[in-house]
Amino acid sequence: MKRLKVFVAGATGVLGRVVVPELCARGHEVIGLARSDSNVDLLQKLGAEPVRCDLFAAKSLEAPMRGCDVVLHLATSIPFKRRPRLGDFSLNDRIRTEGTRNLLAAALRCGVKRFVQQSIALLHSGHREAWADEEGPLGDHPPYASAIEMERTVWQSHGLEGLSTVILRGGWFYGPTAIHTRRLFGALRRGMLPVMGSGENHWSLIHVDDMATACVAAAEAPAPSQLYLVVDDEPARVKDLFAHIARAQNRRPPLHAPAWLVSLLAGPLAREMLAASYRCRNRRIKRELSWKLAYPTYREGVAAVLQAWSEEA
């Protein structure tokens, strides 16, 4: 396997903190974007070379990216308000749009050969029981418009200056260090999160460790496809997922609540997120990249999260 020089945007995020040491363990040289002294220290501990640059200052990206073979765009900024609104996602939207454009422009100027973009399987939401694969239709959901624009920008850069681009549409992302995972598990433990409606809608999930190995596989592959769905083997009905998380914490399954009540208490955006239904296949990435899941279903993943917290405590 060729030793790669990899530039990682989002290197100190929940996903980046798993991807960076995995890349280093496989013998690659990793350059991680850092914007604070604490992130510099963290990246050094993870084995990466930290660089001070800014996604929104395009010129600052070129010097550290020079000589890199691969760029991984894993940066996000997800708000964690109890009653989120579209405006709360403005920074995340900017990272997806302006940040992606800046990274791609720097990659093209620096002769980078591979650009790997983290995206979301939620783009397939809205088709209820139907299975989705990489060629499946996308839903029309305003909260995810910036993700569609981001992907379009990446698609348009494929083949320019010898650059190959890969988009990884990850499932509902969870792991022991993710804030939204702690909040979801905590709300179900306290009986504060109901199942909306019947809860028959599907979520396709992915544990952070499995998303990380997919990122590494996409970086290393000689000739990957341009798009992969990165999800586990078993899309979960929301009612089953919530009940399992509650029982795993020795609590009763949550009650059900009508959509109007969820909207009243948590807002229309939370209602839309809970109502999302996307049932995705992972056959392409398994076949083409020999990708293997550490957590094939949410049951193994939930157990791993709770075990990690137990050890942490």
Residue 121 has pLDDT above 90, yes or no: yes
Distance of CA 250 to the CA centre of its chain: 29
Residue 160 has pLDDT above 80, yes or no: yes
First to last CA, the chain: 39
Residue 35 has pLDDT above 90, yes or no: no
Residue 154 has pLDDT above 80, yes or no: yes
- Per DSSP, the chain holds a count of helices (H) and strands (E) of 13, 15
Residue 87 has pLDDT above 90, yes or no: no
Tell me the domains of the chain and their CATH numbers: 5-177+206-232+279-295 (3.40.50.720)
Task: Please give the C-alpha separations between residue 310 and each of 180, 184, 190, 302, in angstroms, as whole numbers.
Answer: 18, 17, 18, 12
Closest CA to 29 of 46, 42, 41, 14: 46
Mean pLDDT of all residues in 42-51? 96
Closest CA to 138 of 270, 276, 285: 276
Mean pLDDT taken over the chain: 94
The token pair at 8 is: 């990682």
Mean pLDDT of all residues in 72-90? 84
Residue 36 has pLDDT above 90, yes or no: no
- HSE at residue 221, side-chain half, CA atoms within 13 A, is 24
Give CA–CA dist 242/260, Å, rounded.
Answer: 19
pLDDT at 162: 95
Mean pLDDT of all residues in 248-276? 91
Residue 21 has pLDDT above 90, yes or no: yes
Q: Which residues contact 10 (CB under 8 A, 6 or more apart)?
A: 16, 33, 72, 73, 74, 75, 76, 118
pLDDT at 246: 98
The answer to whether the beta carbons of residues 232 and 205 sit under 8 Å apart is yes
Q: Whole-prediction pTM value? A: 0.96
Q: pLDDT of 171-216, one tens digit each?
A: 999 999 999 999 999 999 999 999 999 999 999 999 999 999 999 9
More confident site: 211 or 269: 211
Residue 280 has pLDDT above 80, yes or no: yes
Lowest mean pLDDT among 29-38, 72-81, 150-159: 72-81
Lowest mean pLDDT among 8-22, 197-211, 256-270: 256-270
What is the residue-wise DSSP string for 147-177? HHHHHHHHHHHTTGGG-EEEEEEE-EEE-TT
More confident site: 235 or 313: 235
Distance of CA 158 to the CA centre of its chain: 21
Closest CA to 174 of 166, 162, 182, 165: 182
Percent of residues, the chain, with pLDDT higher than 90: 84
At 27, is the secondary structure helix, strand, or coil? coil
Q: pLDDT of 209-258, one tens digit each?
A: 999 999 999 999 999 999 999 999 999 999 999 999 999 999 999 999 99
Mean pLDDT of all residues in 96-111? 97
Lowest mean pLDDT among 64-78, 84-98, 153-167, 179-193: 84-98
**Cβ atoms within 10 Å, residue 24:** 15
